[in-house]
């Protein structure tokens, strides 16, 4: 490439900036790389004006305390500060501190990462001003001078307890003992470089040494193009694409654009197609207004989003949040979406629909039942439901259809020695409770008249249900009528019962409850019988002569 040399003869200052465009820059690794010009503060000591300019290519997106990135300048944090450093991914700090220790700071948020930025810091005795890419940005009132003559001019770091090392590149760093004008700064930004013989120029490091990206291990100093103090290099590997001399900013200015390509990107500046993210550059010969070559940087992001293929299983229906549609059958749906960079991709969803089931649990019962839901039902109903899980993992809804076919199982004592089942229109079978409820032959009527003493019940059956009544005790059949032989009083009795026998004989008596449990037994001697301890109720009284029962009746205790 041929670099165009520009001559601006109309203004004297312009002519002082005539030079060939920069070729190399110096890359710093943010670890221990730096360059230092000893005692350089003597060049601006006691001057009421000073300027510093540089091209910087910062790459540290995580700059911040305690890892600020120093660009260049003087810094002892006491009486000789004139520097620029990177505060964070977008901001820089510019500081001037005079010999009295008074500091003046400018903070500016406009730094462009991964791109060349031109800065000019200018002090004219009353104002500290900052320029970025040839344009004034901010200023602050300032005063005083720097009298320190032993402070080093640092390039790449700024001194601190751990040092603020730069992660990035520097080119065309200069120091002046004059205050550059706005026009001079603009021409410097848009020009082809700084002439080492410019009036007021004290230090000029063009970094045009060695071979960009090559083996420069023998290089130990940076040449001062102004001819005053060469800077000592330290910590740099000086071999390869970093921590070494690299391709520098091209005179005539630069610009940076950022864009996104979906899978690939064809840059209109050079017609080239890129398929990977990165920073690309294109030189425009004679592209600047002053006839210098200019450069355009492209910060390119290639986005290649992957298609998504997912599956979902749902019961009965599924509403996809991507498109808001509801699906009730198994299917495959696809939607074309865009990611945050605006690049398209397909989202395919394989939808499997399974279904809930329902059934009815039909139950007929003679007695209350406890169903699967844990509840007990004693009457006919068809409303209870219970939810289980079916074989495909969906709801299985079961409804209870219950019919209670209860049958009346009570018996009425007719008072004439017969007993009648209260249920009508059913079948009957009278049974002997004392013989394991054995059926009584021929006793299948609603009414039953026992012919001998015992305990009897009836089984009633309405064809759906069968139930057995409570047993009734029969104890008055076949007894001799001996009431005239015995006087029993009072009836009902309270605390005492009297039994008087008209015929003197050896009699015994016993009192049992209706189930046959013996409560009292003794010889009959016409003395009062204490029944105070018996609960209120009806009891059986039996009188025997030692061999046979001669009399049986019921007594009532109040």
Which two three-digit tokens encode residue 416?
């004439």
pTM to 2 decimals? 0.47
Helix (H, G, I), strand (E, B) or coil at 442: coil
**What pLDDT score does 358 carry?**
95
Return the DSSP state at 224.
Answer: B
**What pLDDT score does 36 carry?**
96
Query: Taking 80 as the threshold, does the pLDDT of residue 314 lie above it?
Result: yes
Query: Taking 70 as the threshold, does the pLDDT of residue 290 lie above it?
Result: no
Q: How far apart are CA 21 and CA 294, in angstroms?
A: 10
**Helix boundaries (H) for 265-401:** none
Give the model confidence (pLDDT) of 181-204 as tens digits: 998 998 788 777 788 889 999 999
State the average pLDDT over residues 94-118.
96
The dotted CATH code for 17-247 is: 2.60.120.200
**What pLDDT score does 537 carry?**
87
Return the DSSP state at 187.
Answer: H
Return the DSSP state at 200.
Answer: T
Q: Which residue has the higher pLDDT, 371 or 548?
A: 371
**What pLDDT score does 67 carry?**
85
Residue that has been written with the tokens 């230090």 in this structure: 203
- pLDDT above 70: percentage of residues in the chain: 92
Return the DSSP state at 535.
Answer: P
Give the model confidence (pLDDT) of 172-182 as tens digits: 999 999 999 99
Range(s) within the chain of domains with CATH label 2.60.40.3080: 483-557
**What pLDDT score does 252 carry?**
56
Mean pLDDT of the chain: 88
Range(s) within the chain of domains with CATH label 2.60.120.200: 17-247
Query: Taking 60 as the threshold, does the pLDDT of residue 4 lie above it?
Result: no
Query: Taking 90 as the threshold, does the pLDDT of residue 259 lie above it?
Result: yes
Q: How far apart are CA 275 and CA 262, in angstroms?
A: 9
**What pLDDT score does 19 carry?**
34
What is the enclosing helix (H) or strand (E) of 190? helix 182-190
**What pLDDT score does 136 carry?**
97
**Cβ–Cβ < 8 Å for 211, 26:** no
Is domain 483-557 annotated with CATH 3.40.50.300?
A: no
CA count, 13 A, side-chain hemisphere, 253: 18
State the average pLDDT over residues 322-333.
96
**What pLDDT score does 428 carry?**
93
**Cβ–Cβ < 8 Å for 530, 495:** yes
Return the DSSP state at 213.
Answer: T
Residue 272: how many other CB atoms lie within 10 Å: 12
Residue 531: how many other CB atoms lie within 10 Å: 18
**What pLDDT score does 292 carry?**
66
Give the model confidence (pLDDT) of 43-56 as tens digits: 999 999 999 999 99
Torsion, Cα 374 379 382 388, to 10 degrees, reads 10
**What pLDDT score does 543 carry?**
86
Q: How far apart are CA 87 and CA 359, in angstroms?
A: 72
Query: Taking 50 as the threshold, does the pLDDT of residue 458 lie above it?
Result: yes
Q: Which residue has the higher pLDDT, 471 or 160?
A: 471
State the average pLDDT over residues 204-209.
91
Residues 6+ apart with CB under 8 A from 293: 1, 3, 4, 21, 250, 251, 252, 283, 284, 285, 286, 287
Which two three-digit tokens encode residue 208?
């045009």
State the average pLDDT over residues 395-417.
88
What is the enclosing helix (H) or strand (E) of 534? none
User: What CATH fold (topology level) applies to the domain 411-474?
Assistant: Immunoglobulin-like (2.60.40)
**What pLDDT score does 20 carry?**
34
Task: Write the CA distances from 331 to 260, 318, 327, 351, 394, integer angstroms.
Answer: 35, 11, 8, 5, 18
Residues 6+ apart with CB under 8 A from 193: 17, 19, 20, 21, 22, 172, 206, 251
Region of residue 391 (left: phi > 0; alpha: psi -120 to 50; beta: else): alpha
**Cβ–Cβ < 8 Å for 432, 446:** no
Return the minimum-mean-pLDDT range out of 86-100, 135-149, 191-205, 375-389: 191-205
């Amino acid at each position: 490439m041929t670099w165009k040399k520009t001559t601006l003869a109309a203004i004297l200052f312009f002519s002082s900036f005539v030079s060939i465009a920069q070729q190399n820059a110096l890359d710093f690794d943010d670890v221990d790389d730096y360059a230092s010009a000893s005692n350089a503060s003597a060049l601006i000591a006691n001057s009421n004006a000073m300027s510093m300019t540089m091209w910087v290519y910062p790459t540290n997106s995580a700059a911040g305390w305690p890892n600020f990135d120093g660009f260049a300048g003087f810094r002892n944090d006491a009486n000789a500060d004139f520097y620029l450093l990177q505060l964070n991914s977008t901001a820089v700090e510019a500081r001037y501190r005079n010999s009295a220790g008074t500091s003046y700071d400018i903070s500016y948020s406009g730094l462009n990462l991964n791109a060349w930025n031109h800065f000019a810091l200018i002090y004219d005795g009353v104002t500290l001003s900052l320029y970025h890419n040839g344009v004034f940005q901010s200023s602050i009132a300032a005063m005083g001078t720097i009298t320190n003559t032993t402070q080093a001019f640092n390039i790449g770091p700024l001194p601190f307890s751990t040092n603020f090392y730069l992660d990035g590149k520097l080119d065309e760093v200069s120091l002046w003992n004059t205050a550059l004008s706005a026009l001079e700064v603009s021409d410097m930004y848009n020009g082809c470089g700084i002439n080492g013989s410019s009036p007021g120029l004290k230090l000029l490091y063009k970094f045009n040494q060695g071979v960009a990206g090559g083996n420069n291990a023998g290089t130990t100093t940076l040449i001062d193009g102004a001819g005053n103090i060469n800077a000592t290099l330290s910590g740099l590997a000086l071999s390869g694409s970093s921590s070494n001399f690299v391709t520098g900013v091209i005179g005539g200015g630069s610009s940076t654009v950022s864009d996104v390509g979906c899978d690939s990107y064809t840059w209109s500046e050079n017609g080239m197609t890129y398929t990977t993210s990165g920073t690309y550059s294109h030189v425009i010969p004679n592209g600047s207004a002053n006839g210098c070559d200019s450069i355009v940087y492209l910060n390119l992001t290639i986005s290649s989003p992957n298609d998504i293929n997912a599956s979902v299983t749902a019961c009965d229906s599924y509403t996809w949040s991507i498109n808001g549609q509801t699906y009730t059958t198994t299917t495959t749906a696809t939607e074309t979406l865009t990611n945050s960079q605006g690049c398209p991709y397909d989202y395919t969803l394989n939808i499997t629909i399974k279904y809930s089931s329902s059934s009815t649990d039909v139950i007929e019962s003679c007695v209350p039942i406890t169903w699967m839901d844990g509840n007990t039902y004693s009457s006919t109903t068809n409303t209870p439901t219970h939810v289980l899980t079916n074989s495909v993992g969906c709801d299985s809804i079961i409804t209870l259809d219950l019919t209670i076919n209860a049958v009346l199982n009570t018996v009425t004592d007719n008072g004439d020695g017969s007993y009648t089942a209260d249920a009508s229109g059913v079948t009957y079978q009278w049974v002997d409770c004392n013989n394991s409820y054995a059926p009584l032959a021929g006793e299948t009527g609603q009414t039953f008249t026992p012919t001998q003493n015992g305990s009897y019940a009836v089984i009633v059956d309405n064809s759906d249900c069968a139930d057995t009544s409570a047993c009734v005790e029969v104890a008055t059949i076949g007894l001799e009528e001996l009431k005239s032989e015995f006087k029993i009083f009072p009836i009902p009795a309270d605390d005492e019962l009297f039994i008087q026998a008209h015929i003197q004989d050896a009699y015994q008596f016993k009192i049992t409850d209706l189930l046959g449990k013996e409560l009292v037994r003794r010889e009959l001697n016409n003395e009062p019988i204490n029944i105070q301890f018996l609960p209120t109720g009806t009891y059986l009284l039996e009188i025997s002569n030692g061999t046979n029962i001669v009399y049986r009746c019921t007594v009532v205790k109040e």
